[in-house]
A = this chain, B = another copy of it.
Amino acid sequence: MSMNSFGHLFRVTTWGESHGPALGATIDGCPPEVPLTEEMLQVWLDKRRPGQNRNTTQRQEADQVRILSGVFEGKTTGTPIQLMIENTDQRSKDYGEIAETFRPGHADITYHLKYGNRDYRGGGRSSARETAARVAAGGVARAAIEAMAPGLEIKGYMTRMGEMEIDRAALDLGEIDNNPFWIPQDATTAQAWEDYLTKIRKDKNSVGAEIEVIARGVPAGIGAPVYAKLDTDLAAAMMSINAVKGVEIGEGMAAAELKGTDNADEIFMGNDGRPVYSSNHAGGILGGIATGQDLVVRFAVKPTSSILSPRASIRKDGSATEVVTKGRHDPCVGIRAVPVGEAMMACVILDHMLLHRGQVGENRSSIG
């Protein structure tokens, strides 16, 4: 019933504040005998790490992850895995001035209203730094998935940033790692996005983003019919990421505009004895259970609320003030949400693979 945990059998609890000594993830329920090293996790953390280009906060963090427990002789033991990332670059002075003020659009005021206090250094628990722990946990999930379902692939990419939207006709997943936005588009498009974001930043502004995460090779049958639906858990996982305001599965909100004849994916028998579908409006999920098609999840990230443009607000004493958030902030925090979304997808998929194995066992039923 923890407020800072997610997952049923593969259970992740993140802890830590932006400017405390460290943050991390406590992972319970990981299968034993899974090959795991700090290097394997670092790959994903480096992808999320800030300070890599001028479109992400200039805060310099090594984001070195340490495995403190649960791994012995290079393999998971089945006991809790503790992942710790120490905070090295903590220039608190940047933030001191906002200790008394609530930043509009930020969690400052709600933390104060709930707890009567808050760690105001860099947003404390509400900082995007919390997502580093998710990415590390996602790395563990990926390792376990690789051991259980080799070939299962998870890929995330941006599909929109403010006025910029990808051209799905020109979608090329091979390009994702070739540009700082992780967009599946060519270099010319990437440059256009770069120019757009540069202008946003120079205007002392920020912008929102839409991220899509897909999973290929997901075993048909994982998921559950009602409250632990695969789409329910995916929606919760994505919505739990800072600044996310919307989540879609398959057609998503557009399903409201469709007719039944358009929406229902027709079913045919594949040559390999597995069903194939005429389309994937469902995003790989029917009745909360995976069909075996690609899982398709999208989510929207609001623009960073910490901006250099002045906004009206109040202080803890109720007096009016104007806030200009200095410090180091992402003009588009959505960029770094891509590896976070991938990590959440990995955790949810592994969790449901374990849940399915627990209730139903390893032999899945088939058709024909």
A338-368: CB near B (< 8 Å → 1, else 0) gives 0000000000000000111111111011111
Q: Beyond A107-B288, A210-B256, is A78–B320 a contact (Cβ under 8 Å)?
A: no
A221 to B22, CA, bound (A): 26
Which chain B residues lie closer than 8 Å to A4 at the CB level? 28, 79-80, 224-228
Among residues of B, the one whose C-beta sits closest to the C-beta of A321 is B267
Chain A contact patch, size range: 35 or more
Interface contact B124-A77, CB-CB below 8 Å:
yes
A254 to B248, CA, bound (A): 12
Choice from B124, B130, B305, B320 contacting A264 with Cβ under 8 Å: B305
Q: Beyond A105-B286, A162-B256, A252-B253, is A15–B356 a contact (Cβ under 8 Å)?
A: no
Q: Beyond A256-B160, A307-B260, A359-B29, is A287–B107 a contact (Cβ under 8 Å)?
A: yes
Interface contact A106-B286, CB-CB below 8 Å:
yes
Q: Beyond A13-B28, A221-B113, A264-B105, is A253–B258 a contact (Cβ under 8 Å)?
A: no
Interface contact A290-B110, CB-CB below 8 Å:
yes
| Residues of chain A from 296 to 317 with CB closer than 8 A to chain B in the complex | 298, 300-305, 307, 309, 311-314, 316-317
Q: How many copies does the complex hold?
A: 4
Which chain B residues lie closer than 8 Å to A77 at the CB level? 17, 115, 117-119, 124-125
Interface contact A359-B303, CB-CB below 8 Å:
no
A11 to B263, CA, bound (A): 34
Choice from B78, B223, B300 contacting A253 with Cβ under 8 Å: B300
Task: For residue A157, give the distance in angstroms from its CB to the closest CB of chain B.
Answer: 13
| Residues of chain A from 114 to 133 with CB closer than 8 A to chain B in the complex | 114-119, 124-126, 130
Interface contact B119-A72, CB-CB below 8 Å:
yes
Interface contact B305-A260, CB-CB below 8 Å:
yes
Choice from B281, B303, B319 contacting A258 with Cβ under 8 Å: B303
Would you give 14 A-B contacts (Cβ < 8 Å), ordered by A?
A: A1-B9, A1-B29, A4-B227, A5-B28, A13-B26, A16-B69, A21-B68, A26-B26, A78-B117, A105-B286, A107-B287, A109-B275, A161-B256, A316-B368
Q: A33-B116, A245-B250, A266-B311 are in contact. List 18 more A-B contacts (CB 8 A).
A: A2-B228, A9-B355, A15-B26, A16-B80, A109-B286, A114-B222, A160-B256, A162-B256, A207-B259, A235-B239, A253-B298, A255-B301, A260-B309, A268-B312, A278-B312, A314-B367, A355-B358, A357-B362
